[in-house]
Amino acid sequence: MSWPDGALAMRHKTIDYDDDGDDVMVIGIDFGTTYSGVAWATVSDFTSDQINFITSWPGTGREEGKAPTELFYEDGQIMWGYEIPADADPVRWFKLLLLKEEDLDHELRSSEFLLRGRKMLKENNKTAVDLIADYLQALWKHVLDTISKARGESVVDALSFKVVITVPAIWKGYARQGMQEAAKKAGILDLRPAGPTTLTFAPEPEAAALSTLCEPGRRIKKGDVFVICDAGGGTVDLISYKIDEIDPIEIHEAVEGKGGLCGGIFIDEAFEHMCKSRLGRKWDRLSKAGIKEIMKGEWEHAIKPQFKPLSTKKEYIVGIPAEAFGKASLDDTSREPLIKNGRIHFNGSHIQKAFTEAFSGIEKLIDEQINKAQQKGEPVTGIVLVGGLGASPYLYEHLNKRHSQAGITVLQSGGMKPRTAICRGAVFKGFLDGGPELEQNGLAIDSPILVTSTISRINLGLVHHTPFKEGQHLEEDKKWFEDEGEYKAENQMQWYLKRGDNVSTKDSIRHSFYRTYKKDFGGYFTVEMHQCEDIVAPTRVTPDMKVSTKIRCMLDIPFSNLEDFVSRTTGEIMKRMFFEVEMVPSGASVEFTVYIGGRKQGQQNANIQFH
């Protein structure tokens, strides 16, 4: 991958657009497991390559790119982010509680953080949607206050909002539906003077790619394959893209992405264990506020984000609150790391150990992506680091040293601001996808980058029956259909997507089905989409399959208008309904449409529920 100087110019085309009529704002929300960030831009901001970030948060005087995704409930009051008292025990990791246990990796399912989160759900009598809504409500209020102070309340009231929330690429439909419910409950979709707010979702890796490749000074070449490594606080998610075209940039997912539980919080946990091990029983004397002082002040805001193992002899001094020592001596030089005057004197090799296990997990994930791409004849030429841990100079140097000899370039998105890459990419996604808000304001933007296809991580399809064929179908699926006068194979799968398929975001997939009725069924019928994660899509229903989506439809014509069907065995006159189910892949989700007799059914006739 070549990354010489030179700008990748944003290409904007305006139709009868008046700069004074800046009527649209896109707000990108990176709702993370451990930290969340927000970026925003009006049309004129975006067309002049200016995206604004929220860096001021309640409860802290520091400029920060993100706020902790944490909540604390006390006496009917909800505190969030940096507002939470130092001695409090906040609710964390509730983003992952939106997923069903069976949809989590085993290591994540049994994680201490997640088990504690589920316990707190019960203690606070809340659902995961409730917690996310509470957090988003506080975050959204701060977003509106911040933007109003920057642009003026009357100006903001006149702007149409398009909100883009990033979600993990591997999230199931029910989790995205839960996020939508939480956003609505949080008031994000409340009616405003400028009209309704539009909410969309963007896959986190796609947002990271949009942000990274559209940075000033970035130039790439056709055929490059790069791994985007979103190294967050809890999980590390990877996805690989190949550059197909340059002007505009067109990319497609090269191999199936993957994630693991090796984010920054496990480095924090390792460091805490080091401190606890060195202090022994003195650690037990520390209050929650005292531990937070060490972990947040001494470690997370000082040593961890700047650490580079330039010299193993360099000292990193960590102050320990006096409460830990009581009447005991403030010195202990009996073993390393030494304790002098109530401070632990770590050297570089000690600190390095805190990163070892997490870095090993990240290396494994990256190696898997590189090997998969190599097997497809598409060698990786670059690795791009985003996310909180992605800003670590140590991670950058560690991976660069490991992969540079293979000709793989390692980069940090946004220079040294990888933490804001995803919410920045969400703003890009909001503008580049267009929509009625932009069309109504006469603005068309030629996208500088297009994600043409992604790789399916699941098999997704409908159960149906088909004429029975000896040798092709199992005998246990053979059933006599009296009305049609033939044997059919039941429990067969008609797949819309198979795991590993390269799915074009432009092409829809449609299959035809029919149902036969002897009497009026009331006009309502249900179509169930099944899914499984088998490497090879099975031809028939298996125990591992589960219903992922239910589409409840209402027939839009009288039952009597359906086509007549005459039973081949009894001569009885029946009715047959022909329908089609169409699936359209769309960024972070898939959209379903039902056609009856060739007529597309509107939302009032087709209610979709994810499971």
Per-residue pLDDT tens digits for 331-359? 999 999 999 999 999 999 999 999 999 99
Between 65-74, 244-253, 410-419, 534-543, the lowest mean confidence (pLDDT) is in 410-419
More confident residue, 226 or 20: 226
For residue 393, what are the β-bridge partners?
Answer: none
The pTM (predicted TM-score) of the whole model is 0.80
> Phi/psi at 358 (nearest 5 deg)?
-65, -45
Q: Please tell me the total number of residues recorded for the chain in this structure.
A: 611
CB contact at 8 A, 596 and 579: yes
pLDDT for 15 equals 32
Higher pLDDT, 109 or 198: 198
By mean pLDDT, which of 2-6, 164-168, 230-234, 340-344 is the weakest? 2-6
Using 50, 70 and 90 to split pLDDT, how confident is the model at 587?
low
Mean per-residue pLDDT, 293-316: 87
Residue with more model confidence, 436 or 434? 434
Please state, rounded to an integer, the average pLDDT across all residues of the chain. Answer: 86
561-570 — which CB contacts under 8 Å span 24+ positions?
Answer: 562/517, 565/483, 565/516, 567/482, 567/483, 567/484, 567/485, 568/483, 568/484, 568/485, 569/482, 569/483, 569/485, 570/482, 570/483
394-to-117, 304, 348 alpha-carbon distances in Å: 30, 9, 12
5, pLDDT greater than 50: no
pLDDT score recorded for residue 415: 46
- pLDDT at residue 74 tops 80: yes
515 — pLDDT class (breaks 50, 70, 90): very high
Indicate the residue type of 121. L
How many other CB atoms sit within 10 Å of the CB of residue 324? 22
At 173-203, the pLDDT tens digits run 788 889 999 999 999 999 999 989 999 998 8
Residue 149: pLDDT over 90: yes
Mean pLDDT of 316-343: 94
Residue 234 pLDDT greater than 90, yes or no: no
- The pLDDT of residue 432 is 80
Q: What is the tens place of the pLDDT at every residue in 20-59? A: 446 899 999 999 988 999 999 998 898 888 899 999 999 9
pLDDT grade for 603, boundaries at 50, 70 and 90: low
CB 566 within 8 A of CB 574: yes
For residue 4, pLDDT beyond 50: no
- 231-268: burial string, b at 16+ Cβ within 10 Å, e else: bbbbbbbbbbbbbeeeeebbbbbbbbbbbbbbbbbbbb
pLDDT tens-digit map of 274-293? 999 999 999 999 999 999 99
pLDDT given for residue 59 in this prediction: 93
Interacting residues of 247 by C-beta distance below 8 A, sequence separation 6+: none
CB atoms within 10 A of CB 205: 29
Annotate 33-44 with three-state secondary structure.
CCEEEEEEEEHH
3-state secondary structure 369-418: HHHHHHHCCCCCCEEEEECCHHHCHHHHHHHHHHHHHHCCEEEECCCCCH
